Amino acid sequence: MTVQLKLTVEQISTAIMLLDRQERQELTQRLPLIIGVEPAQQDDFGWLRLAESSFAFWDDEAEDIYSDLAPAGNTTPE
């Protein structure tokens, strides 16, 4: 007898939010393998995570006025 478990993305997201800190860290380690992320892509994600801190100077409330210049999600020039 075969039993299949079919969860929605919403159900999976909710389950992840219920994990404790240690379980989330373990999931972070396993998830790339589970979803089939190639090792080269994993390296790219690591470099992107490291680069994030270099943009911290943009986290300035005074600069938020520029957020209204373009609609959210509009990242391509027309």
Domains held by the chain: number: 1
Q: What share of the chain in percent tops pLDDT 70? A: 88
Q: Which string of DSSP letters, residue by residue, matches 1-26?
A: --------HHHHHHHHHTS-HHHHHH
Model pLDDT, residue 15: 93
Q: Is residue 1 part of a domain?
A: no
Phi-psi group of 72: left, alpha or beta (phi > 0 → left; psi -120 to 50 → alpha; rest → beta): beta
Q: What is the pTM of this model?
A: 0.46
User: In this model, does residue 71 exceed pLDDT 70?
Assistant: no
Rg of the chain (C-alpha set): 19
What is the pLDDT at residue 22? 95
23 inside domain: yes
Residue 78 located in a structural domain: no
Tell me if 13 is assigned to some domain.
yes
Residue 21's Cβ-side half-sphere holds a number of Cα atoms within 13 Å equal to 0
Q: Is the pLDDT of residue 3 over 60?
A: yes
Q: What is the structure's pLDDT at 53?
A: 81
| 45 located within any domain | yes
Q: What is the pLDDT of residues 7-42, one digit of tens each?
A: 999 999 999 999 999 999 999 888 888 888 887 777
